[in-house]
Structure 1
Amino acid sequence: MEPLKKEDYTTAHGLLLPRGLAWPRTSGSVLMRLFAGFSRSYAALHASLILLIRELDPRSTTAFLSEWESFAGLPDECSLVVGTESERRAAVVSKITATGGATAPYFIAIAAGLGYVGATVTEFPVSRFGRVRFGARFQGRPWRNVWQMNLSAQGSTPARFTDRFGTRFNTSGNTVLECRIVKLKPAHTTVLFHYGT
């Protein structure tokens, strides 16, 4: 929706006037110049209202982004304190729209909402005696509640021999995504993150 211009409001005022010699509609008349003066305020108010409508949606906000962040409780432990405006906006939308779920499509949608399109989820079937072929990978009962999120290799850094003892073998720049997934996953499950094609 585009805001109306000053001339549109002036024309509308002129069309609403009653007919007669006392109500001149020529552009140079005192009455139409008075309406033109009023119309500047109306056009500015209309533009402000349209901007306010855009700001009321967290997907398109710019001026009220900090208010939306405080409403959503951001920054939290799962979000970047300093990020680009689009990253901050995506974090707000992700936090507000996260309703909870325990399905693979739900977590894939969270990853896509944070900018990681193409993520997949692998669930590990539990091996049962008599139902597993010889030579197949054995996954006992603890694997019943383990699942893996497969992501592209964005920001993935393998550990080096010179790293300190206790560092992860593979650290990533996807800490926001990992934290959000770990926070929203069902409490009885364990999630693994796999980076690569």
Structure 2
Amino acid sequence: MALTRDDYRRALHALLPPGQALPADADSRWQQLLEALAGELARADGRAETLRDEADVRTTYELLADWERVAGLPDPCVPGEQTLEERRAALVRVLIGTGGQSRNYYVELAAALGYEITIEEHHPHTVADDVAHPIKGDTWRWAWTVRSPESTVTYLTVAGTVDEPLATWGNERLECVIERFKPAHTDVLFAYG
């Protein structure tokens, strides 16, 4: 907790040597100077405490644009304005993300974006397959399907501001992010509903 102006004034006064050279009346120029110094020290202490919140991407506000610049954001998959919470979540995702190619990685990536998906992997038809299995050619080994609700609704969180929309709809962001992070040799299909 940051010290107040009174805390600093008392501390500065306690550091002074005793005597008549430095008057103790509140109206003296010396006490006015100590009051001004105490105010500036309290302001600097408060800003230092704010810096602690700014150093954490989950709570940053003033340095958010600088954090985004360092992380290579805003994401090209996000057209238009983002809410404060979406911007912070994107920062966390970029800074702590380790990447991956597993089915679970893409399900978690979509969940971090606010989408609930399932993934279906395809493989070419072989002699060992059941007769009910669809006949697919050799190129299907590099294809996979992302299944999602037809339209995903994202609602405003409690930490949002008054100028942010209460809800947004759509799956364009999901498609863009999955396409960007998918292995280059694969083809991803999107199925909704």
Answer whether TM exceeds 0.5 for this pair.
Answer: yes
Counterpart residue type for residue 189 of structure 2: L
- Answering whether residue 100 of structure 2 is matched by residue 101 of structure 1, we say yes
1:10-53 Cα shifts (integer Å, max 9, x gaps): 455566x48x85599x9969787755443322221122122223
Q: Which residue pairs with 2:126 in the alignment?
A: 128
Q: Which runs of 5 or more structure 2 residues have no equivalent in the other structure?
A: 154-168
Equivalent AA in structure 2 for residue 121 of structure 1? I
TM-score (normalised: structure 1): 0.67
CA distance in 2 between partners of 1:189 and 1:86 (Å): 32
Letter in 2 for 1:123: E
Partner of 1:114: 113
Q: Aligned equivalents of 1:5 and 1:177: distance in 2? A: 48
Greater alpha carbon shift after TM alignment, 134-143 vs 29-38 = 29-38
The residue type equivalent to 1:9 in the other structure is: Y
1:80 and 1:179 map into 2 onto residues whose CA distance is: 11
Structure 1 residues 21 and 95: CA distance shift in structure 2, 3 A: closer
Distance 1:68 1:21 in 2: 49
Give secondary structure in 2 for the equivalent of 1:191.
strand
2:46 pairs with 1:43: no
Question: Which residues in structure 2 correspond to 1:143-182 (within 5 Å)?
Answer: 143-155=140-152, 173-182=170-179
Per-residue deviation, 1:137: 3.1
TM-score (norm 2): 0.69
Query: Separation in 2 of the partners of 1:55 and 1:7?
Result: 26
1:58, 1:92 within 8 Å by CA — same for their partners in 2?
yes
1:40/1:155 CA distance change after superposition, 3 Å: same
The 3-state SS of whatever aligns with 2:80 is coil
1:37-78, Cα deviation, whole Å (9 max, x unpaired): 433222211221222232233332222222233333334531
Distance in 2 between the 1:176 and 1:113 partners? 12
- Kindly provide the CA deviation profile for residues 137-176 of structure 1, in whole angstroms up to 9, marking residues without a partner as x: 33443222222223333359xxxxxxxxxxxxxxx82222
CA distance in 2, matches of 1:65, 1:9: 31
SS in 2 for 1:67: helix
Question: Is 1:81 aligned to residue 91 of structure 2?
Answer: no
Runs (5+) with no aligned partner, structure 1: 157-171
Q: Return the letter of the residue paired with 2:131.
A: F
Structure 1 CA distance, aligned partners of 2:191 and 2:64? Answer: 33
1:141 aligns with 2:103: no
One-letter code aligned to 2:47: S
Identity of aligned residues (%): 34
